[in-house]
Amino acid sequence: QVQLVESGGGLVQVGGSLRLSCAASGRTFSRTTMGWFRQAVGKEREFVAAISWWNGGNTAYADSVKGRFTISRDNAKNTVYLQMNSLKPEDTAVYFCAAAPPGTVITMIRSQLYDSWGQGTQVTVSS
């Protein structure tokens, strides 16, 4: 499995921006689909965004973040990013980075298909 370390969370006001980073180590990052999930207090973990390793990096987004969040990857740095703009109070959650088994083509929104997870980083949006 790959080791994942998230960073970049914090406290931000409504309408503000944050960029989360997830540094990966341990295996072939360039052939690994990466995803971001989040979990708010009292709620189940939910899909946020993902980026594949094939076709130049297909992306997928939850409807709730489309047009506001952007996922990207830098294979030279073994890092995936989540740029979050126009943040809302409902974006408050712990954000987790996840990695799928390398070389696999998966349905990116399904958390069960990822086999490595980071420890999470807190994002709090204040109104």
pLDDT tens column, 57-91 = 899 999 999 999 999 999 999 999 999 999 999 99
- Average pLDDT over the chain, rounded to whole? 95
Percent of the chain with pLDDT over 90: 86
pLDDT at 19: 98
CA separation for the pair 6, 87 (Å, rounded): 19
pLDDT at 55: 82
Residue 41 Cα distances to 37, 83, 90, 94, 102, angstroms? 14, 22, 11, 9, 31
Residue 12 Cα distances to 15, 42, 45, 88, 127, angstroms? 8, 21, 21, 9, 9
* pLDDT of 27 over the 80 cut: no
* pLDDT of 26 over the 80 cut: no
The tokens describing 107, both together, are 């349905």
CA separation for the pair 48, 66 (Å, rounded): 9
